Amino acid sequence: MTAEPFLDLHPATETMLDDVLNGFATTPRALPSKYFYDAAGSLLFDQICELNEYYPTKTERWILETYVDEISAALGDNIVLIEYGSGSSIKTRLLLEHLNGLAAYVPIDISKKHLMMAARNLEGEFPTLPIFPVCADYLQDIDLNLTGVLSKGDGHGASSVPTDDGAKRSKEPSHLIFFPGSTIGNFNPEQARDFLKRVHHLAGNNGHLLIGVDLVKDPKVLHDAYNDTQGVTAEFNRNILHHVNHQLGADINVDLFEHRAFWDESAERIEMQLVATDHQKVDINGSVFAFNAGDVIQTEYSHKYRIEGFRALAEDAGFTVDRVWTDPQNLFSVQLLSTI
């Protein structure tokens, strides 16, 4: 594998500049959560996954480990696995080990260096599996066009299946989209529906979506998960401003912002913000913005779902919910959706 992705659609710096300027023009100011993730942000997220308080990763991993054989049986074989927001692809390893007749793995992530590091590690562990890393914002349309690169009839890619007349016809692999981590929660319900419709299109006929969906629960458990005692989540939150400084040559004094995360009961979501602790003026490519103590930058929503609420959303987007797996405490769910 080269150091470059199979497809490099990383958003241009101008796109980030537009997003930041637009986000700073609203009240309250806001930044898209995808900008947490440069190389440093991806490493910080990996540290969050190891925290005692951060139940989503451990619980989702437990569900996948416990039910991976059922998941595999429900999917059949000859599958191209496409993962949105793959990060370090830690949970994916379970699928790579257990799915039948895996034709290829396509990890998609906006954080290029981290994506390539994860893909190289996987290549060492699964040397015969074709891996096609794609660096992209998954909110954009991505034309994967894998037809030309999947080899035929060798156990990978479109396999040849015997027909009644003895001839061999190519059986196209079906698509399994994997979207773990409850990253779907970063969208508001309307954006989530639009996103799921696009995923439905990419999954195609006979396609599936295996998705991690975090559930509404005791607010204390939620609060602690986003306010860890070691301050890793706070560093992760502030990293969005470091990223803006590095990428856009801005001069934000990041030390003058503190982390805030709280449960919004009526919207059933965790809201993450950065709150200015003092006055400062910041220059972003020639545009100057003043902050006073108490001013807020909205950085992330993390919507939590109820099983029936997510079912309605998925059905609105054209999916059928085939299976829902949860943990004994009903903290988290892994759901298998199909396009037919």
Closest approach, Cβ 278 to ligand SAM, in A, equals 30
Three-class secondary structure of residue 136 per DSSP: strand
Comparison of 83 and 295: residue with beta carbon closer to ligand SAM: 83
Starting at the earlier edge strand, list the strands of the sheet with 7-9: 7-9, 134-136, 102-109, 79-84, 174-179, 208-214, 332-338, 320-326
Q: Rounded to 5 degrees, what angle do the CA atoms 44, 289, 261 make?
A: 35
Peptide bond into 28 cis (omega under 30): yes
Q: Which of 64, 99, 102, 110 binds ligand SAM (CB under 6 A)?
A: 110
Q: Which neighbouring-strand residues pair with 270?
A: 263, 302
Closest approach, Cβ 138 to ligand SAM, in A, equals 4
Task: Show contacts with ligand SAM in window 79-98 (CB under 6 A).
Answer: 85-87, 91
How far, rounded to the nearest angstrom, does the alpha carbon of residue 255 sit from its chain's CA centroid?
28
**By CB under 6 A, residue 233 contacts ligand SAM:** no
d(CA 175, CA 198): 13
Q: What is the 3-state secondary structure (H, E, C) of 238-301?
A: HHHHHHHHHHHCCCCCHHHEEEEEEEECCCCEEEEEEEECCCEEEEECCEEEEECCCCEEEEEE
Task: Show contacts with ligand SAM in window 139-198 (CB under 6 A).
Answer: 139, 180-181, 183
Which residue is closest to ligand SAM by CB? 85
Comparison of 71 and 276: residue with beta carbon closer to ligand SAM: 71
Closest approach, Cβ 38 to ligand SAM, in A, equals 9
- Give me the count of residues in the chain: 340
d(CA 333, CA 329): 10
d(CA 102, CA 123): 14
Comparison of 135 and 276: residue with beta carbon closer to ligand SAM: 135
x/- letters, 37..76, toward ligand SAM (CB under 6 A) = x----x--x---x-------x-------------------
CB 158 within 8 A of CB 173: yes
Q: Which of 137, 172, 268, 322 binds ligand SAM (CB under 6 A)?
A: 137
The greatest distance separating any two alpha carbons of the chain, rounded to the nearest whole angstrom, comes to: 78
x/- letters, 3..42, toward ligand SAM (CB under 6 A) = -------------------------------x--x----x
Comparison of 183 and 335: residue with beta carbon closer to ligand SAM: 183
**By CB under 6 A, residue 133 contacts ligand SAM:** no
**By CB under 6 A, residue 117 contacts ligand SAM:** no
Comparison of 158 and 210: residue with beta carbon closer to ligand SAM: 210
**By CB under 6 A, residue 138 contacts ligand SAM:** yes
- Integer-rounded Cα Rg, in Å, for the chain is 21
Task: Show contacts with ligand SAM in window 262-321 (CB under 6 A).
Answer: none
**By CB under 6 A, residue 109 contacts ligand SAM:** yes
- Return residues touching ligand SAM (CB under 6 A): 34, 37, 42, 45, 49, 57, 85-87, 91, 109-111, 137-139, 180-181, 183
